Structure 1
Amino acid sequence: MLDALSSGRASSLNSTLALLLGVLTTASAAFSARLWALAVAVVASGLLALIAGKLKEWLFVSTAALAFAASVSAPAVLGVLPAKGAPAAVFIARAVASASLFTAFYSLTGWRGFVEGVRGLGALGYLGDELAFTLRYIPLFTWKTLRLLSAREARLFTSSRRLTWRVVNSVAGSILAGAYAKAYWARLAYTARSFSFEGNRKTARARFSMWDAFLTALSAGLLMILVGVL
């Protein structure tokens, strides 16, 4: 499911703009108390997912968010516990709308577009570069984790589940330490091959396309509805 959402990217899309609009609309939906506005946000996010060709994945995430929020708020809905603050229906709608909106924007950008959007935000420093390295080294660290688990479990002469969990915890610590060291040396090698201290973080300036204009207008309308301007 995550692979399907991460693949592809809408053509002529400004990734940084899409990331900012996604964060703004998601945050607005998380604090909105208007049920009809949250319903409109869900419908709009479904439209974006349909345009991106990932409606099936969007439905799965939205349904999972609905099931999780409904199970959490079930005591308040059934009257077992008193509802404090916003009603249970608003809480469920907020969770579903937020998950739907962020999933829709992520389906438009994909993983590469998401990383490019983070890199476009200069205030975040080298976070975008670190995210780009993460996807590349996940298979390597997975293979290394399996090797460490096999080697340490081979040294155990007991079937105790408690001891096995200790071994797994020690492997996790070793993997984190190794990942930090690998990222450190990869960063030094990356910087050494660049002609400036900033490296190759700067990307080409993206043009404002018609797709960006449509996404901006839709997001602006959603923001005004969610915050109560309309």
Structure 2
Amino acid sequence: MIVNKSVQNFKNRLTEIMKGDSVSTFAKKCDMSETVIRDYLSGKTYPSLNRLASISEKCNVSYSWLATGHKLEEIHDTENDNVYSEYIHRIPVYIKQLPTVEEAKTQKYVRGTPPVMNYPVLDGWLSHRGLDPKKLIIYWAKGDLMAPEIKQNNGLIINTDIHEVIDGGVYLLEYEEMTLLRRIRLTLDGWQLLCNNNQCETITVLRTDFKQYKIVGNVVQIIKDLY
């Protein structure tokens, strides 16, 4: 059987905060009966959470110390070595996949998109990749044009901080009212927008037509459900 020594030693902490006061004086200070205080001092009974809070407030001592013998602010970091703590950034969803107010209230799927409007990313991973969290968005993939690499509703973390187009990179693009997810192959004349699906035709974009396409960003991570 595990014995909670912190609880057993409560009477010692109670004696300490009484500072030599009589049981009668201390009981009045805490708005409790002398019998209750005597029971605490003898170890016969222990205070409820409410009474612990009342005593700590009346005596101006730490609630955690009174209950456990430790002050939370004084616990050494080594006691928490097994607790993983790292700042988490929330990556917002691509603006065109945001739900309307009505859709958000009902938590319904939006245009076939899972109702996840942001995605948690660890600060350490961002630092390792050299990415700015303020320049990232999440896009929920549609269709099978990039399968099997990217499938329907896979989450894609997109880096919108684009300085140059990298040959072979996968990019999210906007053309007129359409959103395209394509692999860009650089050519002497411009770009080729490629799919993994052989049934999809390659789109050739000449340099003179670049301004018709807006590059939203490139894919830096694919989030997949395994089952």
Q: TM-score, normalised by structure 2?
A: 0.20
Tell me: higher relative CO, structure 1 or 2? Use CA pairs within 8 A at least 6 residues apart. Answer: 1
Q: Rg larger in 1 or in 2? A: 2
| Between structures 1 and 2, the one with greater strand share | 2
Q: TM-score, normalised by structure 1?
A: 0.19
